[in-house]
Structure 1
Amino acid sequence: MTARASRRNRRDLNRTVRLLALLVALVVALTSVLPVTRAEAQQRPKTVVEMLFGSGTRAEPPRRVIKKRVIRKKRDVRAQRATPRKKRTATRQNRSNPTRASAAKPARSAPAAAAAAADTSTAAPAKSENARTILVVGDFMAASLADGLMESFADDELVFVTSKANGSSGLVREDFYDWPNELGPIIDAVEPDILAVMIGANDRQPMRVSGNILAVRSDGWTAEYEKRATDLARIAEARKVPLIWVGMPSFKYDAMSEDMVFFNDIYKRAAERVSGEFVSIWDGFVDEKGSFIYSGPDVNGQTARLRGSDGLSLTDDGEDKLAFFTRKAVDRALGESPAQVALDDEALPSLQLQPLSNAANATVSAPIALNDPSFDGSDALLGTASQQNAFSLEMSPRDRLVLNGDPVNAREGRADNFAWNAKSDAIRSTPPVIYRGSIDVKTLKENSGLTPPKEMPTILDAIIEDWENSGADGAQSSGG
């Protein structure tokens, strides 16, 4: 009975399996024959369990659609990140030449023009007619220098920065762009008050001179390159334009940085030959070991990205730092040649004459007691009262002492009061302990009965005396 029952159970199981397989085949055949809608076609294939028992979950969107959405989102983020850089560059270009920028813009509609006129928070101030001009020439590094200077002098209406840089130019390839021949006409057309030169990043290449090819940094190449740099500086000297030559920074490649150090020495000598100023920016773009860095402290002392990913170009923060080093020399040059200001009716009331006296000529100011809670003493520092009497021709105590030799009338109880009018008991004593006037040592010994100290022996006498004393002590010890 047991064997028969087991065979029957095995037959029932096989029958059930065949029935399920037939049911699955029937469902698959029906789904292939029936029409498929577009929504069902976008769904992922169902499993056998879902086909038999159904699925209560919502169909997931196709993976391809998700991928497209992610790619589109990344593109939007990249576009947003690139927007500030484009706006800042456009702003700097407009500041460099407002006339050109206004001519290049298309005509706006009335609502757009009204909205632009209302938003004046980002508009650059108009430059004065008497503004001094800074001309920047050179290669692509000079273009970055011009952008930084434009940003630095954006709020100064008396300084105008313009750029005539050629990104691929240099002093080697005169067949591409001849700076010694082009710079003169540029200066005559712009009439700048200061000339800033930054060039040399493209000059690491052989030079052709009189049909001969000279290797980089060879003797002939160096002599010719230094001559061309000096000729460029002589052009500014001939037109009496102050020259500021900005050196090259370090670059990503060690060989290129080594050549830049060599070039900077040539630029420095060329600028000094015409009484120009050389600005070294090397330390601003290297670390404490002198190696190239992508990021470093900006003009505010905060860590920022200074160089581009190529290791050559400068970021906005790098341009600002480049202008920070250069502006010190620019301010000195601008101070030597002040702008011509017209003295019209509006400017005259704002003029202030320098006072004839200063704080050094001040006399006395009422002191403020430390234990005075009301502080009813003087509420101004020493020297402030003298500014009120700026046009007084009376000599100050300092001038009377230095020029005329008159002593200062010291106030009683003050530290500079050296007067001693009352005689003390020490002076009335006989003999007195204080002598007035000049007196020699002999008179002092006779009157006071003082004996001078014994004369100090020489070193030789001291050694002999010490040796004799040691010998006497030894004799006494042996005799005892």
Structure 2
Amino acid sequence: MRKRVDRTMTAGGVSGMLRWGALSAAVLVFSTAVLPPVSAEAQEQRYYQRRSLLDLFLGRRYIDEAPQAPGQYAPQRAVPPRKKKAPPKAAVSAPRPAPVIAPEEKVVQKLDNAQKIMVVGDFLAGGLGSGMDAAFKDSPGILIETHSNVASGLVRDDYYDWPTQLTKFLDEAKPAMVVVMLGANDRQQMVTDAGKEKFRTDAWYAEYQRRVLAFGKAVTSRKIPLLWVGLPAFDSPAMMADAVQMNQVYRKQVESIGGEFVDIWDGFVSESGDFIVTGSDINGQQVRLRAADGINMTEAGRRKIAFYVEKPARRILGTQASPDLVRLDNSSAPALDLSANPADHTDPIALSDPNLDGGTALLGGAALPVSTTKSPRDKLVQDGEMAKPPAGRVDDYSRPVAKSAAEVSVK
């Protein structure tokens, strides 16, 4: 029974489709026969557009609008143009302040007779030279001359012969002071007359002491002040231990020939003696002092080494290293006529002259002055006599003398 219904429904569906097709054909014939024909002129002024599936069966649908070019669709409904918005008014901003221009740094002109400080050594000495330039930039009486070789030292004289080069620099520059910073590259094997010596052996240290002493004597033998700057701490524990032992060699040998050892160790370690990367600069501010390799110095670190050298250098060179040094020529000097009374002329005395305050004599070395009269202390202690206090003082217990009637009447 169910299968029969399905067949009936199927047959009905097919018959329905046939009836719909016949109806559509009839409508098409009716519309062709009934509707009046359209003239060619009207067809040119009218155009068509397919709208739906029904239009496919009923034919083309005409719209009374302006014709379009062949191959184009009818225009859609016109959209009213949008009103153009007025451009936004520019926001009125406050005038920007004029950029602050840093004042140009005043360059101090060096004197013609300025004394020269010569810095020699390895890569650390090169940084020390730049720090010394900054330290003495305001001192017109000091010039800094740096001679450094990055990979040099006192061990590899076949690579760079420092004793020979130092003599050459001293003859050319004629410095007033020599600052040496060497040794950071000397932790290696040394070739001596007896053969090759490994680092840290007794023979190695014996030869190294001899070379340090000879290098220092090349300076002090010319009566030139010598400052030998010690090695700083390093990031490697082995390098730190070697630097401590080498600094002892520098101090002992340099001080034995009249030089001065400048110890910078405490400026680059913590309170517990450990290596530090960041520490206090010359102004007490926390800055980075060492490079990432734990060996080289930053600009602040180089200036800090120069800070340690600056103190003894100014002390040795005296007023010539002072930033307040003023040169007086004959044009600005006052005219003094000392021919009339030469006895009134007194030679100028420097403030640092030790004879100004008797600094050449020890306390008690000279005989005390002898007085012929007894002092008030001697009278009190020896004779028991006390000097009368001046009238009106708090310890003056004497009564004023009463005036007579005649004296009062006269007044």
TM-score tier (shorter):
0.5 to 0.7
- Paired with 1:329 and 1:343, the residues of 2 have a C-alpha distance of 27
Deviations 1:394-447 (A, max 9, x none): xxxxxxxx746478899xxxxxxx94438x9xxxxxxxxxxxxxxxxxxxxxxx
**CA 1:292–1:120 in structure 2 vs 1: closer, same or farther (change >3 Å)?**
same
SS in 1 for 2:180: strand
* Of 295, 299, 305, the match for 2:282: 299
Q: 1:256 and 2:223 equivalent?
A: no
- Give the deviation of 1:204 after TM superposition: 0.6
Alignment of 1:7-46 (within 5 A): none
Alignment of 1:20-169 (within 5 A): 121-122=104-105, 124-169=107-152
Corresponding residue of 1:413: none
The letter of the residue matching 1:421 is: K
**CA 1:346–1:318 in structure 2 vs 1: closer, same or farther (change >3 Å)?**
farther
Corresponding residue of 1:64: none
Alignment of 1:295-374 (within 5 A): 295-335=278-318, 344-346=329-331, 348-349=333-334, 353=348
Deviations 1:22-75 (A, max 9, x none): xxxxxxxxxxxxxxxxxxxxxxxxxxxxxxxxxxxxxxxxxxxxxxxxxxxxxx
**CA 1:162–1:420 in structure 2 vs 1: closer, same or farther (change >3 Å)?**
same
Corresponding residue of 2:388: 421
Give TM-score scaled by structure 1 length.
0.49
- Give the deviation of 1:257 after TM superposition: 0.8
- Give the deviation of 1:167 after TM superposition: 1.1
Assess if the C-alpha contact under 8 Å between 1:133 and 1:161 holds in 2: yes
- Give the deviation of 1:338 after TM superposition: 8.6
The letter of the residue matching 1:348 is: A
Q: 1:268 and 2:233 equivalent?
A: no
Assess if the C-alpha contact under 8 Å between 1:251 and 1:292 holds in 2: yes
List 4+ stretches of structure 1 deviating above 6 A.
336-343, 406-410
Which protein is richer in helix relative to its size?
A: 1
**CA 1:355–1:178 in structure 2 vs 1: closer, same or farther (change >3 Å)?**
closer
The letter of the residue matching 1:327 is: E
SS in 2 for 1:278: strand
Deviations 1:235-294 (A, max 9, x none): 002222110000000011010011011111111122112201000000010000111100
- Give the deviation of 1:321 after TM superposition: 1.0
- Give the deviation of 1:320 after TM superposition: 1.4
**CA 1:238–1:350 in structure 2 vs 1: closer, same or farther (change >3 Å)?**
farther
**CA 1:347–1:323 in structure 2 vs 1: closer, same or farther (change >3 Å)?**
farther
The letter of the residue matching 2:239 is: M
Assess if the C-alpha contact under 8 Å between 1:204 and 1:216 holds in 2: yes
Alignment of 1:163-312 (within 5 A): 163-210=146-193, 212-312=195-295
Runs (5+) with no aligned partner, structure 2: 1-101, 337-346, 352-367, 378-384, 390-394, 396-411
Deviations 1:109-154 (A, max 9, x none): xxxxxxxxxx982353221111110000000111111111100000
**CA 1:421–1:123 in structure 2 vs 1: closer, same or farther (change >3 Å)?**
closer
**CA 1:150–1:214 in structure 2 vs 1: closer, same or farther (change >3 Å)?**
same
Identify the structure with bigger relative contact order (alpha carbons < 8 Å, sequence gap 6+).
Answer: 2
- Give the deviation of 1:334 after TM superposition: 0.6
Corresponding residue of 2:88: none
- Paired with 2:237 and 2:136, the residues of 1 have a C-alpha distance of 34
Assess if the C-alpha contact under 8 Å between 2:268 and 2:276 holds in 1: yes
- Paired with 1:235 and 1:140, the residues of 2 have a C-alpha distance of 21
Assess if the C-alpha contact under 8 Å between 1:295 and 1:306 holds in 2: yes
Assess if the C-alpha contact under 8 Å between 1:130 and 1:341 holds in 2: no
- Paired with 1:345 and 1:421, the residues of 2 have a C-alpha distance of 60
> Percent of aligned positions with the same letter in both sequences?
39
Corresponding residue of 1:4: none
Assess if the C-alpha contact under 8 Å between 1:244 and 1:279 holds in 2: yes
- Paired with 1:242 and 1:345, the residues of 2 have a C-alpha distance of 32
- Give the deviation of 1:317 after TM superposition: 1.1
- Paired with 1:132 and 1:232, the residues of 2 have a C-alpha distance of 22
Structure of larger gyration radius: 2
The letter of the residue matching 1:344 is: D
SS in 2 for 1:296: strand
- Paired with 1:228 and 1:274, the residues of 2 have a C-alpha distance of 13
Deviations 1:186-216 (A, max 9, x none): 1100110000000000011011113622111
